[in-house]
């Protein structure tokens, strides 16, 4: 299936690993050049691996929670003549604290997660919308989470921030539709990422030693109890939906929240 992405340019935040990296690779398979943003030291090594495969890659260490830094990165891209058609925002973090009940947390435990997950999205949206409006075309896909739909108690700051991502994406979709810019959200379910493992770690640290489970046992138990298809989702599964929503095949899809979750969340 031709997705109509050949010779387009895609910008992916949180691109050094996990879903962001899987998305970058899939865009490249469709003939796209890549701009990768992350704060991870491994970003340049990741970019070099992709370049070795003949992929055109620009990589920059950008902290999306810093609005000035985000604006400067976009300005630099424009000075270099880069025109971004597709933005995928994957950069996010959890609080690192097991939040059940939420009173286990202090208000101060929320700030870092909200700054990255909510204001990071806001900064990306504000910085990249003007050039897309000038081009009268483009797509945004924001990576949220099923946690933003079900009120996940394991990490309330993360869950609340992902709900905010879904809501703001819908606001953007309405505002930007007249400019032929589509905005959608993808919500992964259970994916083996560093963030998923950090949820287990936070739970494990607050659990009595006699009740603790290994990450493998904890996650498999959770998969069997909450995922109807009974299996993990992969970063590649999520990337496939992200790239599809960015493509011409989805040209009439905007303002939608699509779950890639094995049936975890079903709306009646």
Give the confidence band of 202 by pLDDT, cuts at 50, 70, 90: confident
Mean pLDDT across 190-198: 82
Provide the mean pLDDT of the chain: 94
Instruction: Round to whole Å and give the CA distance between 164 and 168.
Output: 6
Q: pLDDT digit string (tens) for 130-172? A: 999 999 999 999 999 999 999 888 899 999 999 999 999 999 9
Catalytic residue among 37, 98, 158, 203: 158
Domains and CATH numbers, the chain: 9-193+234-259 (3.40.50.720)
Tell whether the torsion through CA atoms of 61, 66, 69 and 74 is positive or negative.
positive
Structure-token pair, residue 216: 């493998």
Q: What is the 3-state secondary structure (H, E, C) of 183-251?
A: EEEEEECCECCHHHHHHHHHHHHCCCHHHCCCHHHHHHHHHHHHCCCCCCECHHHHHHHHHHHHCHHHC
| pLDDT at residue 5, rounded to an integer | 97
Is 215 noted as a catalytic residue in this protein? no
**Whether the predicted model's global pTM rises above the 0.85 cut:** yes
pLDDT(268) > 60: no
């Amino acid at each position: 299936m031709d997705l109509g992405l050949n010779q387009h340019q895609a910008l992916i935040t949180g691109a050094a690993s996990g879903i962001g990296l899987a998305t970058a690779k899939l865009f490249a398979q469709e003939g796209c050049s890549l701009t990768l943003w992350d704060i991870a030291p491994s970003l340049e090594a990741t970019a070099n691996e992709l370049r070795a495969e003949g992929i055109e890659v620009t990589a920059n260490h950008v902290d999306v929670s810093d609005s000035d830094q985000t604006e400067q990165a976009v300005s630099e891209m424009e000075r270099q003549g880069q025109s971004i058609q597709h933005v995928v925002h994957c950069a996010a973090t959890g609080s690192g604290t097991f939040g059940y009940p939420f009173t286990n947390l202090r208000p101060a435990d929320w700030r870092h997660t909200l700054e990255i997950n909510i204001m990071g999205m806001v900064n990306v949206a504000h910085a990249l919308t003007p050039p897309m409006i000038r081009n009268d075309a483009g797509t945004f896909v924001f990576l949220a989470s099923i946690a933003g739909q079900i009120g996940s108690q394991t990490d309330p700051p993360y869950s609340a921030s992902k709900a905010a991502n879904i809501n703001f994406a819908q606001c953007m979709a309405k505002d930007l539709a007249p400019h032929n810019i589509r905005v959608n959200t993808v919500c992964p379910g259970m994916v083996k990422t560093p963030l998923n493992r950090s949820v287990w770690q936070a739970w494990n640290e607050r659990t009595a030693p006699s009740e603790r489970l290994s990450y493998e046992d904890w996650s498999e138990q959770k998969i069997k109890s909450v995922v109807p298809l009974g299996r993990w989702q992969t970063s590649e599964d999520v990337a496939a939906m992200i790239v599809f929503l960015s493509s011409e095949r989805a040209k009439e899809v905007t303002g939608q929240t699509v779950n890639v979750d094995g049936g975890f969340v079903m709306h009646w």
